[in-house]
Structure 1
Amino acid sequence: MGFKHKKKYGQNFLTNAGQVLNRIIEVSDVNAKDAIVEIGPGEGALTELLLEHGKKVTCMEIDTDLEKILRKKFDTNPKFTLLMGDVLEVDFQEKIGEPIKVVANIPYYITSPIIHKLIENRNIISEIYIMVQKEVAQRICAKSGSERSVLTLSVEYYGDAEYLFTIPKEDFTPVPKIDSAFMSIKLRADNKYEKLVDEATFFKYVKAAFATKRKNILNNLSNLGFSKAELKEKLAAIGIEGNRRAESITIDEYMEVIRVLEAK
């Protein structure tokens, strides 16, 4: 239909689609029981396979030029629903309202806001399977090392992230500057960490810990109003050295840090 890709929506569509899309379906374990949400379906290459394997598919698309293409391809399929608009403004509870699995090649320029939006709706979303920039997937899924960040911890707080496979940049049109990756986030039903430390308190400490990248945990946490002597003593009590950097500390260690510093 003469569709032109738009930079403002971060549109890069798969050209070497067959192998990659089949692998997406495989690792996402899409089956006849799954209600799927796809964000940014583009021209519907992945949508077609999701409809074939899933129970129903709700696509969220912002580009009105793609609406005709998608409706022409799929409107006769009773399993297909198209919601036009910005995914960040969609009320998932109202528009979806049932348990869903997200499988999508999301717009890279709003990766973090989309992930946060999906996590906010964790009462109906159990599993997230998304294509993102390779370096972003590496950061989110990093279990150790300098790649870990506030984003890493913010995902770990709610679920388990896993790097699944790499998609070379040459598999897209237009060809982007970097490779992509497909990753998963399986959200916890047991609210394991939320039961230990509430959301506001957790992020207060994590953001403080990462506030200045080159500073150690002792210096960064002192900005919360603790004296360095008090911090050193309390951190030592749980076996954490004050000269460690924020990215080297695991989420379980953060739970301990917050516990001892919040103790009255």
Structure 2
Amino acid sequence: RSMKLKEKTEWLWQKYHFTPRKDLGQHFLIDPLILDRIVKSLHLKMHDEVLEIGAGTGTLTERLAQEKIRLLAVEVDQDLYQILKEELKDYPNVKIICEDISQFSLEEQFKGPFKVVGNLPYQIASSLLLDLVKRENVGLLVVMVQREVAERLLSPPGCKKRGILTVLMQHYALIEKIIDAPSHAFIPPPRVASSLLRIERRKIHSSEEDQVIFRVVKAAFSSRRRMLINALSGALKKDKNFLRKKLEEAGIDEELRAEDLVDEDFLKLSRVLREEVYEKKD
């Protein structure tokens, strides 16, 4: 039990004849301090329900299993799934599923509120986070993402890295960086560094308002280098004079670019353009 995480991970690889797969971007956390920060940041209470994405060799899974929670660990790799099933068989509060998280039906597994934790694969991190944060029963996410994704999610108004993902994620949630994780915190070490984020969902949402905001944000960012009025006019197929009035009404300078707007600006813009972009369901 006192074996270091790196040794333990390598020992499991040997025991089960496992080789990390490049195509799945498999990198395993071996830094005990970061592991502690992850567990602490989840603020676990008895009977919490937790979803772990990409359980790997079960380093975090086992730590979480020792808390009095219900844990659902999802792992796409069949070989790792076998390791997890064997190594964690003594924990009745842990359920392990071999599946691709982006194809996975969370509705069937979680009826009430749940928390999310995991080291997110780069290819699907953005779309997965947006999907999760839109769900009313997800309260808190503590996730490891590539530094580049973290920078996009945290980028302030005026920053070139700010985009649709940034604005929508910041609309749904409060995002903060807990800690940066250097490459050597993992084996095999990835080429890029990662960051651990805490994402707490805001409580207030109506799906109708969300639909409007989504379309307005998309339209505003549709041509990044153009002024707001031109981007909106092109994407929403609306007359500039009409949009000029609407922007004035919202108190927003038409010559700004989408990345310059704060969340509140997008809310104001969505209110004045609501009639134009909301598609009513018959």
Q: After TM superposition, is the score higher than 0.5?
A: yes
User: Do the aligned partners of 1:35 and 1:101 also contact (CA within 8 Å) in 2?
Assistant: yes
Match of 1:4 among 19, 22, 37: 19
1:189 aligns with 2:203: yes
SS of the equivalent of 1:57 reads: strand
What is the deviation of 1:54?
4.3
For structure 1, which segment, 76-85 or 92-101, has the greater mean C-alpha deviation from structure 2 after superposition? 92-101
CA separation in 1, counterparts of 2:231 and 2:32? 48
1:206 aligns with 2:210: no
1:109 aligns with 2:120: no
Structure 2 equivalent of residue 37 of structure 1: 51
Match of 1:139 among 143, 152, 176: 152
CA separation in 2, counterparts of 1:61 and 1:236? 50
Question: How many residue pairs are counted as aligned between the two chains?
Answer: 259
Percent identity between the two aligned chains: 31
CA separation in 1, counterparts of 2:275 and 2:68? 48
Task: Say what the alpha-carbon RMSD is for the aligned residues.
Answer: 1.8
CA deviations 1:88-145 (Å, max 9, x no partner) are: 122111123232111111222211232133234x232211111001121121122322
CA deviations 1:16-40 (Å, max 9, x no partner) are: x211101111122223342111010
Q: How does 1:80-91 map to 2 (within 5 A)?
A: 80-91=94-105
SS of the equivalent of 1:29 reads: coil
- TM-score, with structure 1 as normaliser: 0.91
- TM-score, with structure 2 as normaliser: 0.85
Relative distance call for 1:201 and 1:182 in structure 2 (3 A) is same
Structure 2 equivalent of residue 219 of structure 1: 230
Relative distance call for 1:32 and 1:251 in structure 2 (3 A) is same
User: Do the aligned partners of 1:35 and 1:54 also contact (CA within 8 Å) in 2?
Assistant: no
Structure 2 equivalent of residue 242 of structure 1: 254
Q: How does 1:42-57 map to 2 (within 5 A)?
A: 42-57=56-71
User: Do the aligned partners of 1:41 and 1:104 also contact (CA within 8 Å) in 2?
Assistant: yes
Q: How does 1:68-79 map to 2 (within 5 A)?
A: 68-79=82-93
CA separation in 1, counterparts of 2:68 and 2:169? 26
CA separation in 2, counterparts of 1:30 and 1:7? 33
User: Do the aligned partners of 2:144 and 2:196 also contact (CA within 8 Å) in 1?
Assistant: yes
CA deviations 1:51-93 (Å, max 9, x no partner) are: 1234121100110001221112111111111011111122111
What is the deviation of 1:171?
1.5
1:126 aligns with 2:139: yes
User: Do the aligned partners of 2:65 and 2:94 also contact (CA within 8 Å) in 1?
Assistant: yes
1:155 aligns with 2:169: yes
SS of the equivalent of 1:198 reads: helix
Q: What letter is aligned with 1:200?
A: Q
CA separation in 1, counterparts of 2:136 and 2:267? 23
CA deviations 1:148-198 (Å, max 9, x no partner) are: 21001221232222222110112222222211001122122332xx37x52
Q: What letter is aligned with 1:166?
A: D
CA separation in 2, counterparts of 1:156 and 1:64? 35
User: Do the aligned partners of 1:59 and 1:81 also contact (CA within 8 Å) in 2?
Assistant: yes
Q: What letter is aligned with 1:138?
A: E
User: Do the aligned partners of 1:234 and 1:260 also contact (CA within 8 Å) in 2?
Assistant: yes
Relative distance call for 1:261 and 1:190 in structure 2 (3 A) is closer
Structure 1 equivalent of residue 9 of structure 2: none
